[in-house]
Amino acid sequence: MAREIWGDTQRCIDTYRSRLEGMYFAADGAKKNTNANIWILGRVDDVMNISGHRLSTSEIESALVSHDAVGPKTAVFGATNKMTGKAVATFVILRARVDGPDEKSLVEELRDVAEKPRSQ
């Protein structure tokens, strides 16, 4: 976690301290049973660790569907990469067919959209 927010106090506040007043949001799901035992259920967000970077699949999906050429459904997942071990992969459904040079141009546009930090 520290690697993601080191030197960025506002990002830390926005990510972990802004959801509930006086509480820290760790993004871990849990439930308390009738015996008051707490059961950890896992992450509430779908995060991939790619080359030391924690990437939210939902944020990448949201960025992709914000592009005019992309329909309302995408899928983001981890895939094997020979150089880094793991990489981000996506399935995207376009609103219209794109071929030739326009296809390469759109792929580059979508990469740019997906890589842009959410704050920009």
Per-residue pLDDT tens over the stretch 2-51: 555 678 888 778 877 887 788 887 777 788 999 999 988 776 667 888 88
> CA angle 30-57-66, nearest 5°?
125
Summary mean pLDDT of the chain: 83
The CATH homologous superfamily for domain 46-120 is ANL, C-terminal domain (3.30.300.30)
**pLDDT value of position 85:** 86
Cα–Cα distance for residue pair 46/30, rounded to 1 Å: 15
Window from 3-12, 54-63, 65-74 with minimum mean pLDDT: 3-12
pLDDT at 27: 72
pLDDT given for residue 120 in this prediction: 44
Instruction: Map out the domains of the chain as residue ranges.
Output: 1-44, 46-120
Q: What is the pLDDT of residue 34?
A: 93
